[in-house]
């Protein structure tokens, strides 16, 4: 009886082992096929990018004048929506104030105080949002032939503003300010390094491909920097 039960268990184990090996081999073939298809898809995206449209910005990857699209801001639509909401609510608030103040049964001093308080926030909110949003780069193109970058930002009324510059015009601050990645001729721009399509273009933009200067600063340069710091301290 024990021999018969052992034989049955042996046969069951063999059957289950065979099923497990068969399933594993099938899954292995499927995973290999998926990886091959995935690699082919990535290669097709990298090689056939010309003529395609970038989904976030809706702009083409290739432009005859600007060159190749190297960056697209992931929060461009969100920033635009926030600005539209802020500006529209400010205009609505300004339009409703005369009706509210004229129908309110309060003294003139109270109306002036309430109106001034409300107007302060009506004008302050769009200005604060624009202070941050004007630095946000929505798209950036790079022309390898001319070495020119074309970064796009939004104005106060959401009109596109293009900044054309080269890598020599870029200054990377030692201590980055609020929402500031680089400065182009004194104008601060904010970019997300993880959203660049081209690593080489990002390296060239940030100046990481430039040779390092290992020379120690001279005494004259030290005196100039010290005098500049003293002037800044006096202004503060």
pTM above 0.85, yes or no: no
pLDDT for the residue 165: 95
pLDDT, residue 176, reads 75
- Residue 117: its pLDDT value, please? 78
d(CA 21, CA 25): 6
- Averaged in consecutive runs of 10 residues, what is the pLDDT profile of the chain (236 residues)? 42 47 43 37 42 75 90 90 89 79 73 77 86 92 94 92 94 84 93 91 90 65 54 48
Phi-psi region of 25 (alpha: psi -120 to 50; beta: other; left: phi over 0): alpha
**φ/ψ (deg, to 5) at 165:** -160, 170
pLDDT digits (tens, 9 = 90+) for 52-70: 877 777 788 888 899 999 9
Which tokens go with 165? 């510059």
Provide the pLDDT for residue 62.
Answer: 86
pLDDT digits (tens, 9 = 90+) for 181-219: 999 998 999 999 999 999 999 999 998 888 776 666 565
Q: Which pLDDT does position 220 carry in this prediction?
A: 58
Q: What integer pLDDT is reported at residue 221 of this predicted model? A: 55
């Amino acid at each position: 009886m024990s021999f018969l039960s052992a034989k049955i268990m042996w046969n069951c184990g063999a059957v289950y082992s065979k099923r497990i090996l068969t399933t594993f081999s099938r899954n292995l073939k499927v995973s290999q096929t998926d990886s091959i298809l995935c690699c082919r898809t990535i290669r097709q995206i990298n090689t056939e990018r010309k003529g395609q449209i970038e989904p976030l910005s809706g702009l083409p990857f290739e432009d005859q004048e600007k060159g190749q699209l190297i960056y697209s801001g992931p929060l461009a639509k969100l920033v635009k929506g926030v600005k539209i909401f802020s500006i529209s609510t400010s205009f609505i608030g300004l339009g409703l104030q005369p009706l509210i103040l004229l129908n309110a049964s309060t003294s003139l001093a109270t109306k002036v105080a309430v109106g001034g308080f409300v107007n302060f926030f009506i004008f302050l909110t769009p200005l604060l949002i624009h202070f941050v949003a004007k630095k946000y780069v929505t798209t950036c193109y790079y022309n390898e032939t001319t070495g020119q970058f074309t970064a796009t930002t939004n104005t106060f009324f959401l009109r596109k503003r293009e900044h054309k510059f080269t890598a020599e015009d870029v200054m990377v601050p030692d201590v980055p300010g609020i929402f500031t990645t680089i400065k182009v001729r004194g104008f601060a721009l904010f970019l997300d390094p993880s959203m660049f399509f081209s690593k080489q273009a990002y390296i060239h933009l940030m100046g990481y491909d430039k040779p390092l200067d290992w020379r120690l600063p001279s005494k004259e340069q030290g005196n100039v920097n010290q005098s500049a710091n003293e002037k800044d301290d006096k202004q503060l």
